[in-house]
């Protein structure tokens, strides 16, 4: 017989805690198995969807068509790709319908986001993850699309890809990494370029080593704001042994500090095997008020961890970006600023 509250707690233990606080113990998951999507081949069809912000100009569709067909691929635009609902690309059910349609269509071999913005988080609990798991294909995007990419990996085990969106500036650098990883299935090593697009030397893309060393683990990451906004949900992975990569745009230094602190307090940072920091664009300290520098914040948050960490990787809201597979085993080297895929990301 249970005589008092203390006896009840001893008997119920973690089981009762998980009922009272459903995400406190069960919010981080690891898929039972990993699914590698089929690689893209010339002539394959890419489905373009808008899970987040709207695209207002029809002329953008022509630019996207030129870019994608230029790589030898075909296109299918979602029915609501140009829909507008305030700051969203259509109502939630419309955006979800387009995603489902692309996975139901056997002629579509990859699903690419039109652009980022905001809105992917709003539809995560509406997505048919069984449909996705039973019809695995490449899913790619970045920025706000981060939440969709991570959620799909967590719920299905399907490798997804942090890389260009349809409206990105598809220069040679971004296109080459896209092709190497998604079309050629190479286990590449990614390092920042030492030349400008015209071939002249540059030191604009130097990396900064915060903690030296190498680390192995599955890659998980994307936009920092988006990842932080998912804390407490069922759509984030078990972080133990993972390599976190992140980027940011248009956030003040104290806001980045706040988000990294939130990850620390949530126990995420202490579980990682390594960290790759991409570009933080338009995140400079205020010129009118006192501020820590971004470098000081990174040192505060990552130096005590004692795990390999470097910053400056070609990830983020920049013209030349890597394509990083979410969920793939990788090895990072913080001394030279490299990330090596230990397996192909596609089948």
Q: Which residues participate in catalysis according to the annotation?
A: 143, 247, 317
Q: And the tokens for 18?
A: 């998980």
Cα 256 from Cα 281, distance rounded (Å): 12
Angle at 145 between CA 55 and CA 21, to 5 degrees: 130
Residues 237 and 29: beta-carbon distance below 8 Å: yes
Residues 158 and 37: beta-carbon distance below 8 Å: yes
3-class DSSP assignment, residue 216: strand
Question: For residue 85, what is the DSSP state?
Answer: B
Cα 238 from Cα 32, distance rounded (Å): 12
Residues 185 and 161: beta-carbon distance below 8 Å: no
3-state secondary structure 194-214: CECCCCCECCCCCCEEEECCE
Cα 317 from Cα 294, distance rounded (Å): 17
Cα 53 from Cα 32, distance rounded (Å): 32
Q: How far is CA 69 from CA 76, 78, 312, 330, in A?
A: 11, 17, 31, 31
Q: Which residue has the tokens 């039972």?
A: 32
Q: And the tokens for 210?
A: 């915060």
Q: How far is CA 269 from CA 101, 239, 240, 303, in A?
A: 37, 8, 9, 11
Cα 164 from Cα 9, distance rounded (Å): 50
* Gyration radius of the chain over CA positions: 21
Strand pairing class (243-249; 214-223): parallel
């Amino acid at each position: 017989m249970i005589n008092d509250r203390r006896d009840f707690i001893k008997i119920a233990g973690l089981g009762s805690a998980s009922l009272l606080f459903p995400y406190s113990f069960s919010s981080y998951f690891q898929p039972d198995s990993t699914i590698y999507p089929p690689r893209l081949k010339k002539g394959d069809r890419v489905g373009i969807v808008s899970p987040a912000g709207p695209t207002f100009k029809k002329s953008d569709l022509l630019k996207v068509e030129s870019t994608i067909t230029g790589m030898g691929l075909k296109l299918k635009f979602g029915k609501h790709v140009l829909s507008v609902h305030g700051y969203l690309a259509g109502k939630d059910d419309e955006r979800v319908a387009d995603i489902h349609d692309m996975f139901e269509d056997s002629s579509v071999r990859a699903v690419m986001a039109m652009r980022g913005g905001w809105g992917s988080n709003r539809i995560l609990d509406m997505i048919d993850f069984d449909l996705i798991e039973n019809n695995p294909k490449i899913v790619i995007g970045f920025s706000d699309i981060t939440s969709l990419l991570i959620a799909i990996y967590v719920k299905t085990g399907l490798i997804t890809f942090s890389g260009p969106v349809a409206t990105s500036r598809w220069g040679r650098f971004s296109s080459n990494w896209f092709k190497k990883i998604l079309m050629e299935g190479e286990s590449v090593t990614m390092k920042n370029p030492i030349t400008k697009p015209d071939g002249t030397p540059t030191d604009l893309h130097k990396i900064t080593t915060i903690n030296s060393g190498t680390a192995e683990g599955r890659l998980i990451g994307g936009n920092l704001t988006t990842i932080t906004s998912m804390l407490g949900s069922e759509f984030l992975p078990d972080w133990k042994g993972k390599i976190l990569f992140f980027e940011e745009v248009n956030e003040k230094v104290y806001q980045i500090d706040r988000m990294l602190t939130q990850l620390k307090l949530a126990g995420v940072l202490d579980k990682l095997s390594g960290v790759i920091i991409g570009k933080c664009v338009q995140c400079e300290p205020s010129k009118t008020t006192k501020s820590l520098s971004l470098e000081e914040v990174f040192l505060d948050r990552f130096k005590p961890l004692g795990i390999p960490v470097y910053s400056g990787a070609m990830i983020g809201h920049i013209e030349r970006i890597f394509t990083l597979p979410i969920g793939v085993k990788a090895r990072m080297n913080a001394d030279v600023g490299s990330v090596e895929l230990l397996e192909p990301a596609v089948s």
